[in-house]
Every structure is written in C-alpha cells, then in structure tokens.
Amino acid sequence: MNVQEQFLTETLQRAAQVVNTVEDRYREAAFPIILQALIGHSRKESGYKESSQEINGYQASEPSLPSTLSVNEFFRRVSPDTHPARFVTAAYYLLHTGKAEQFTQADVLEIYRKLRQPQPKNPTDVMNQCIRKAQIIDAPSMGDKQKHWVITPEGEKYVEGLLHDNASGSNKVIG
C-alpha cells in the first residue's frame, strides 16, 4: 500500500469514527463533509500545499473573502433577516475569512455582539434549525468541552445566494 492509499484508508476510518458520534439522521449528510474536513486538516498539518480546487463539488477551504473584510461590512452585503440566516452567514464569514473552519455557538454570539444585534432568545433552537436545513452540521471533536460545528456546502450556497441577490439588487437603476 503506497503512502496515498494509507493516508486515505486512515482518513476514511477516522471519518467513520467521527460520523458514528453524529445523530443517525445526520450521518449520511455528515460523512462527506467530515471526510473533506479531515483531509484538509491532515494536509495542512503535513505542510501539504495545493491550489484551490473542488473535491466532490466542495470548494477546498481556502479563504475566499479578504481577511480584512469587517463582519459589519459582510453582513451589510448579505443582509440576513432571520436568526438562522445570521447563524449561517456568521459560519460562512468565519470560514471564508480564514478565522475558523469550525466554530462554537459562542463564536456566533460574539459576531452578534460585534454587529450590535439582539441575540436570539434560544440560540440552541436557532442552531438546530440550521442543522435541520443541512446548512450546519456537527464538527469533529476538538478535545475541549465545547460543541463545534461546520458550515455545509448547502449552507455556503445559501449565503452566496443571499450575497448574489443583494449584489444584483443594489445595481438596479431606480428612476
């Protein structure tokens, strides 16, 4: 078995272990996302560098937003109007500015503080709504006691749709 086959075998085994910790109803959606995260994480640890490329329709997690873009400016561009939309937008912002691939509920609520937005009365329920829509899923355990999540490709498409809708809407001539 060559090095690449060994790497893939170990990564598949690790992904299967992690997926077994996820609720049954999310396992099928979680497996490819967890596998992709593990492959990306392992390559970063080993110093492997590659250009941005799609793997199974999922963009490898290189930051696509400038790290200097403020959270206020990004939210102004996207204009999420519900708490679930804000949670997914926050996850997208954290991933695509390179601030975090995985995030906690506290990370999202910190973004609410920066935006000076009223926080949801039940953040756990909002997170569960995002999970039910398959926009956010459980992330592999980081070893600490806090629960971590990752945005799914579906969640990324949702935010990109909001961003596109608002960008095209702001270019209309009123007259």
One domain, residues 65 and 39: no
Selected residue with higher pLDDT from 14 and 160: 160
Structural domain boundaries, residue 9: 1-48
- On whether residue 151 sits in a domain, the answer given is yes
Residue that the structure tokens 């990370």 belong to: 107
Q: Which ranges of the chain does DSSP label H, i.e. alpha helix?
A: 3-19, 24-45, 71-78, 83-96, 105-115, 123-132, 153-170
Angle between helices 123-132 and 105-115 (to 10 degrees): 110
One domain, residues 66 and 108: yes
Question: What average pLDDT does the segment 26-34 reach?
Answer: 77
User: For residues 145 and 154, what is the distance between their CA atoms, to the nearest angstrom?
Assistant: 27
Alpha carbons within 13 angstroms on the beta-carbon side of residue 9 total 6
One domain, residues 107 and 129: yes
- On whether residue 6 sits in a domain, the answer given is yes
Question: What average pLDDT does the segment 152-160 reach?
Answer: 93
Question: Both tokens of residue 46?
Answer: 């080993």
What is the pLDDT at residue 91? 95
Question: Both tokens of residue 127?
Answer: 């997170």
Question: Both tokens of residue 1?
Answer: 């078995």
One domain, residues 108 and 87: yes
Selected residue with higher pLDDT from 115 and 54: 115
Q: How many residues make up the chain in this entry?
A: 175
- On whether residue 53 sits in a domain, the answer given is no
- On whether residue 132 sits in a domain, the answer given is yes
Residue-wise pLDDT tens digits, 138-148: 888 777 788 89
Comparing 11-15, 51-55, 149-153, the range with the smallest average pLDDT is 51-55
Residue-wise pLDDT tens digits, 102-131: 999 999 999 999 999 999 999 999 999 999
Tell me which residue of 111, 105, 112, 108 sits closest to 146, measured CA to CA.
105
Task: Please state whether beta strands 54-55 and 149-151 pair in parallel, antiparallel, or not at all (unpaired).
Answer: unpaired
One domain, residues 87 and 130: yes
How many domains does one find in the chain? Answer: 2
Tell me if 33 sits within 8 A of 152, measured CB to CB.
yes
Amino acid at 159: V
pTM for this model (two decimals): 0.63
User: For residues 84 and 124, what is the distance between their CA atoms, to the nearest angstrom?
Assistant: 11
One domain, residues 2 and 67: no
One domain, residues 82 and 43: no
- On whether residue 110 sits in a domain, the answer given is yes
One domain, residues 110 and 147: yes
- On whether residue 56 sits in a domain, the answer given is no
